[in-house]
């Protein structure tokens, strides 16, 4: 039986809600002084800038250890789609300008500027991650973990992006997923598999049907 995905669990993938910031809030405010990425941080930035498109399977695990799967499709700049498994009436889509959360069970659509989403670190090749991220030491030399947070805004929580060295992947790295912690200590993790890089992706993948009565599909 497919378990119902709550809006909070889905939003933890991509956006901070209006009332309280959830798990994946990467700070949109840059540090006052510019910084230059070096070493592993530079490797991560090189990888992110080398990925023009990505498709992957994902498994999301929330704080109650509930899991749901689906397919992730990304295309720069600013396009993304989280297609959940059959039976989950929620869709998350970014069309390059805005990020939409669509709940077909209640015919509700929420919208945010794509730049206000933590996914902007993955979708915007111009972002300088050295302004808000640092490398976390790892016992495994083949794994690079990047912690991103804004010390001046602890209410935004923090996110850890996890990469594995992979000579065959763009920039020599492959993103394995991310782990996020909100300001209340709630943990959400996303694990990726079957990653495919830089294959052609149609813009039609980022269109969606508007469930609200009387409105035409996007």
The pLDDT of residue 2 is above 80 = no
**What pLDDT was estimated at residue 175?**
94
Q: Identify the band that residue 118 occupies on the pLDDT scale cut at 50, 70 and 90.
A: low
Q: Identify the band that residue 114 occupies on the pLDDT scale cut at 50, 70 and 90.
A: confident
Q: What is the dihedral of CA 130, 131, 133, 137, to 10 degrees?
A: 50
Query: Is 12 a domain residue?
Result: no
The pLDDT of residue 147 is above 90 = no
Length of the chain in terms of residues written: 218
CA distances, 186 to each of 11, 20, 49, 157, 176 (Å): 13, 12, 30, 9, 20
Residue 205: DSSP 8-state: G
**What pLDDT was estimated at residue 212?**
87
pTM equals 0.78
Q: What is the per-residue DSSP string for 116-156?
A: GSTTHHHH-TT--GGGTEEEEP-SSTTEEEEEEE-TT-GGG
Q: What is the CATH number of the domain that holds 78?
A: 2.50.20.10
Give yes or no for a contact between 103 and 93, defined as CB atoms under 8 angstroms apart.
no
Give yes or no for a contact between 194 and 69, defined as CB atoms under 8 angstroms apart.
no
Q: Identify the band that residue 130 occupies on the pLDDT scale cut at 50, 70 and 90.
A: confident
Q: Identify the band that residue 181 occupies on the pLDDT scale cut at 50, 70 and 90.
A: confident
Of 129 and 74, more confident: 74
Rounded CA gap, 118 and 27, in Å? 7
Query: Is 216 a domain residue?
Result: no
SS3 call for 115 = helix
pLDDT above 70 covers a percentage of the chain that reads: 73
Q: Identify the band that residue 157 occupies on the pLDDT scale cut at 50, 70 and 90.
A: low
Query: Is 189 a domain residue?
Result: yes
Query: Is 8 a domain residue?
Result: no
How many domains does one find in the chain?
A: 1
* Structural domain containing residue 109: 17-202
**What pLDDT was estimated at residue 163?**
95
**What pLDDT was estimated at residue 29?**
29
Query: Is 2 a domain residue?
Result: no
Of 68-72, 149-153, 196-200, 211-215, where does mean pLDDT reach its minimum? Answer: 149-153
Q: Tell me the per-residue pLDDT of 15-37, one tens digit each, with 9 for 90 and over.
A: 443 222 223 333 332 333 334 45
Rounded CA gap, 28 and 121, in Å? 9
Q: Select the highest-mean-pLDDT range: 114-123, 141-150, 204-213.
A: 204-213
Q: Identify the band that residue 188 occupies on the pLDDT scale cut at 50, 70 and 90.
A: confident
């Amino acid at each position: 039986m497919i378990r119902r995905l709550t809006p909070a669990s889905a939003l933890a993938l991509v956006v901070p809600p209006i009332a309280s910031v959830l798990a994946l809030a990467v700070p949109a405010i840059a540090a006052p002084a510019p910084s230059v990425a070096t070493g592993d941080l530079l490797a991560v930035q090189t990888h992110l800038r080398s990925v023009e498109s990505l498709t992957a399977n994902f498994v999301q695990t929330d704080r109650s250890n509930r899991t749901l799967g689906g397919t992730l499709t990304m295309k720069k700049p600013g396009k993304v789609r989280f297609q959940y498994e059959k039976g989950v009436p929620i869709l998350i889509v970014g069309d390059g300008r805005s990020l939409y959360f669509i709940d077909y069970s209640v015919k509700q659509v929420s919208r945010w500027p794509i730049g206000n989403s933590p996914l902007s670190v993955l979708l915007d090749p111009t972002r300088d991650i050295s302004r808000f991220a640092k490398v976390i030491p790892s016992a495994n030399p083949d794994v690079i973990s990047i912690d991103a947070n804004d010390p001046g805004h602890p209410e935004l929580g923090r996110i850890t992006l996890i990469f594995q060295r992979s000579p065959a992947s763009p920039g020599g790295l492959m993103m394995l997923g991310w782990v996020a912690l909100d300001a209340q200590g709630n943990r959400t993790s996303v694990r990726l598999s079957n990653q495919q890089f830089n294959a052609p992706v149609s813009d039609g993948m980022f269109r969606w049907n508007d469930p609200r009565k009387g409105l035409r599909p996007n």
